[in-house]
Amino acid sequence: MWLGTPDDFWPAAVLALGTTITACILLIILIAKDAGVAVHANYPATSTTKFFLAFGTIYFSFGGAASFPTFQNDMKNRNDFPKAATMGFAFLLLLYLPVAVLGYVTYGDKVEEDVIDSITPSTIKSIIQILLALHMLFAFLLVINATSQEFEEFFKILTVKFGWKRMAIRSSMMLFIVFVAQSIPKFGKVLNLVGGSAITLTASVFPCIFYYRLCSLRSHDLKWPERRIPIHEKIYLIVIIVYGILGGCMSTYAAVKDIAEPKSFVPPCYVNLTAENNDSKVDDESPKETNRERSGYSLWIAVILLRVE
């Protein structure tokens, strides 16, 4: 976490890829095994709210796109980045799409937010959980790096030189992330909010706008050649921007509406250290608001605002 750029810890990318490939293959095998013995699954009708909540969830998986400029900057041949990105997304699609489709076909409306929770307990399931935990550890180092460099640049800290200032900045960021994670016991609903708002902007809207803007720049400097965008590519960019804005707005509205429901608020562990099984207590709470609930509401609102910013 304290190393400079992804070029300094590139093995983390290899390990993250290896763990997720192995986990997805094992996951597909277990879901297929459950499909052979599962009872008939029920597939409820979808709704507009569910569609846009799913929109935010899907977009959240593209959160790493904001780190792409950092990855490209560390490549030996930066012109090969489009090929690398295309191959990477195509390969991940081959891994993730079967998991999503097979999981829904097998479990239907009984599928959990985390499909692993729907699988029959076994040793292989535990191995999958360990592999995914390792994947999150290694992938986190890559994704958080771009944000770390931005903060270091803001505080005028040299990113090429290791020192206590870098350690202090990145350690503080890590503590804040841990606080957010502990403050939101049910992160799925906030995931929809962040995916529909911030990630939609960083993955679809801003890249298209910045690309168009950079290609439109005119300079007498020979290091910045003149670029022209074909008309069909301009239309393509505009369509992505419009759909990103409209979909993001609708997804954000659906996520905020979902979060506003009383059952969505679960106080974090540090609000009431003696509370047991907070999830079950939410369903049994009376309409009367307690002090514990009010504390949970305040923390939720504060964390959501900080996260979106």
* 79-93, 115-129, 215-229: least confidently modelled range: 215-229
**Rounded-to-integer distance, Cα 271 and Cα 259, Å:** 19
Tokens of 84: 């690398």
Q: pLDDT, tens digit, for every residue of 206-236?
A: 999 999 888 888 766 667 777 888 999 999 9
- Show Cβ contacts of residue 206 under 8 Å, excluding neighbours closer than 6 positions: none
The mean pLDDT value for 19-34 works out to 90
What integer pLDDT is reported at residue 286 of this predicted model?
39
Question: Are 234 and 212 spatial neighbours (Cβ–Cβ below 8 Å)?
Answer: yes
The mean pLDDT value for 163-187 works out to 79
What integer pLDDT is reported at residue 111 of this predicted model?
84
Question: Are 254 and 49 spatial neighbours (Cβ–Cβ below 8 Å)?
Answer: yes
Q: pLDDT, tens digit, for every residue of 179-192?
A: 877 777 677 777 88
pTM of the model: 0.66
What integer pLDDT is reported at residue 159 of this predicted model?
58
**Rounded-to-integer distance, Cα 20 and Cα 95, Å:** 9
**Rounded-to-integer distance, Cα 271 and Cα 299, Å:** 9
Q: Which residue has the higher pLDDT, 117 or 181?
A: 117
What integer pLDDT is reported at residue 302 of this predicted model?
39
**Rounded-to-integer distance, Cα 111 and Cα 98, Å:** 15
SS3 2: coil
SS3 273: coil
Tokens of 190: 């906030």
Concatenating the DSSP letter of every residue in 132-190 gives HHHHHHHHHHHHHHHHHHHHHHHTT--TTS--HHHHHHHHHHHHHHHHHHHH-S-HHHH
What integer pLDDT is reported at residue 299 of this predicted model?
40
Q: Which residue type occupies 81?
A: F
**Rounded-to-integer distance, Cα 88 and Cα 278, Å:** 40
pLDDT at 167 over 70: yes
**Rounded-to-integer distance, Cα 26 and Cα 30, Å:** 6
Q: Which residue has the higher pLDDT, 300 or 273?
A: 273
Cβ of 117: how many Cβ atoms within 10 Å? 11
Question: Are 248 and 197 spatial neighbours (Cβ–Cβ below 8 Å)?
Answer: yes
pLDDT, mean over the chain: 78
The mean pLDDT value for 30-56 works out to 83
